[in-house]
Amino acid sequence: MSRYEAVIGLEVHAQLKTRSKLFCACSTGFGEAPNTNTCPVCAGMPGALPVVNKRAVEFGVKLAQALDCRVKDNSVFARKNYFYPDLPKGYQISQYEHPLAEEGRLEVPVNGDNQEVRIIRIHMEDDAGKSIHGAENTSYVDLNRTGVPLLEIVSGPDIYSPDQAVAYLKALRNILIYLDICQGSMQEGNFRCDANVSVRPRGRPEYGTRTEVKNMNSFRFVHKALSYEIDRQIDLLEDGEEVVQETLLFDEASGETRSMRGKEEAHDYRYFPDPDLVPLTIPERERQKWARELPELPLSRWRRFIRDYALSEELADTLTGDRSLADYFERAAACFDEPRTVANWMTSEMLRELNERDISAAQSPFAPEQLAELLGLVRQEKISTKIAKQIFPEVFAHGLDPESFVQEKGYVQITDESRLEEVVREVLAENPDEVASYKQGKKKLMSFFMGQVMKKTKGQANPKLVDQLLRSGLEG
């Protein structure tokens, strides 16, 4: 392996979160009855005229701005001609010679370092429909997805390993989610990736022949498919054979790639400018407005979290890796001035509850202010950390007010000295042997006595106070 270097370039299709399709007013709603979200435009009726969706353009320009791309003054929609049963127009409307934006970059965090990957282009296009192969050799076509807006984001060949490829995809997906323009789910197919990959002897400037791998619907499969494909190409070169340029399908079951079709050239598609659509120009005023609306992006938020809240890189990673988690954190940290404690709680106790329910922090039944209140109870020594963790699943699940819950259920720490003194006396009286050993120098038994006191008080005794009382009881 180390004698060879892999080169990877990724093409991502991101489905935009617009309410209507790219060139008509049909709904983009998912999971509705087949062929209900259609009209003459997306059903490809002759004479129907497309009108571009302004929201989709706004989303495209915002992504371009977030990726430092140059937004072109004029971009042109072109017809990419091919026949497919679920593409009734007989062509896809895409952008070819003049894409929406070019020449950007994405900084990808890899092992605490940032690696810059060039963005070659971002262009807009409409999606095809869906063929469904049913029983009895019958196939059906559902046109609900036909015409749904996509952005294609093409990276430079600047990625050198499966790990980096996954890191790039995660960073890109995160930006799309921060911008709130794409759902970013590979499983549901609204964030799709094709991977171009080649290998070359290390140190050689020219690229090797590449293959393109399709059909990977999770980060894990992208990693698997690329690793497989890199090994396959190295084996070919080692055997003195050549890599054939082709499109491959990743087979999840076998973990292998297999040939789908041979090399295809752009001219196969007979691209030409769509005569029904004028070139897309984006007024300066609009660009500036959209630029002002850009949210803080993941990388700068990550840096700010480390700087302003003194979080570790790892905690900042976990929190900013999910916009809603980061938002939640900032609201909680605004009410409780120990950000690291908030971050630790969120990435352990809270993340566990969220993951169990498969919900985001934005959907949490437990509000950030409530988390801050719970942590406040611990800091004021009204409850121990142990009790806080113990009650967390319940207060979280029902969004209960921690303070009143603790009062009602009698979880408040026992700080009443005379009450604790009594318990300590009991424990010492019940364990004369241990008391004798302690007095002979077996100081480790302290934790045994502490445990006994906690058992009798259901974990509610104030540990500091118990420690003092035990010491004076044993040594006094």
User: To 5 degrees, how large is the angle CA 86–CA 87–CA 91?
Assistant: 160
Q: What minimum distance in Å lies between the beta carbon of 209 and ligand ADP?
A: 7
> Which is nearest to 388 in space by CA: 413, 415, 355, 353?
413
Q: Is 122 in the site for Zn ion (CB under 5 A)?
A: no
Half-sphere exposure of 13 (CA within 13 A, CB side): 20
Q: Is 412 in the site for Zn ion (CB under 5 A)?
A: no
Q: How far apart are CA 363 and CA 354, in angstroms?
A: 9
- Token pair, residue 163, equals 């790990």
Q: How far apart are CA 133 and CA 411, in angstroms?
A: 59
CA dihedral for 19, 24, 28, 32, sign (positive or negative): positive
Contacts of 205 by beta carbon, 8 Å cutoff, 6+ apart: none
SS3 141: strand
210 binds, among ligand ADP, Zn ion, none (CB under 5 to 8 A by kind): ligand ADP
Q: How far apart are CA 60 and CA 71, in angstroms?
A: 9
Q: Is 24 in the site for Zn ion (CB under 5 A)?
A: yes
Q: Which of 7, 343, 350, 371 binds ligand ADP (CB under 6 A)?
A: 7
CB nearer to ligand ADP: give 193 or 375.
Answer: 193
The number of residues that bind ligand ADP (CB under 6 A) is 15
155 binds, among ligand ADP, Zn ion, none (CB under 5 to 8 A by kind): ligand ADP
β-strand pairing of 211-214 with 246-251: parallel
207 binds, among ligand ADP, Zn ion, none (CB under 5 to 8 A by kind): ligand ADP
34 binds, among Zn ion, ligand ADP, none (CB under 5 to 8 A by kind): none
Q: How far apart are CA 31 and CA 145, in angstroms?
A: 10
Q: What minimum distance in Å lies between the beta carbon of 79 and ligand ADP?
A: 16
The distance in angstroms from the start CA to the end CA of the chain is 70
* Region 224-283 residues binding ligand ADP, contact defined as CB under 6 A: 266
Q: Is 143 in the site for Zn ion (CB under 5 A)?
A: no
Contacts of 29 by beta carbon, 8 Å cutoff, 6+ apart: 37, 144
Q: Is 57 in the site for ligand ADP (CB under 6 A)?
A: no
Structure-token match 């988690």, residue found: 325
* Region 172-231 residues binding ligand ADP, contact defined as CB under 6 A: 196-198, 207, 210
Among 153-161, 234-242, 282-290, 444-452, the segment contacting ligand ADP (CB under 6 A)? 153-161
Q: Is 11 in the site for ligand ADP (CB under 6 A)?
A: yes
Q: Is 157 in the site for ligand ADP (CB under 6 A)?
A: yes
Q: Is 156 in the site for ligand ADP (CB under 6 A)?
A: yes
Binding residues vs Zn ion (CB under 5 A): 24, 26, 39, 41-42
Binding residues vs ligand ADP (CB under 6 A): 7-11, 154-157, 196-198, 207, 210, 266
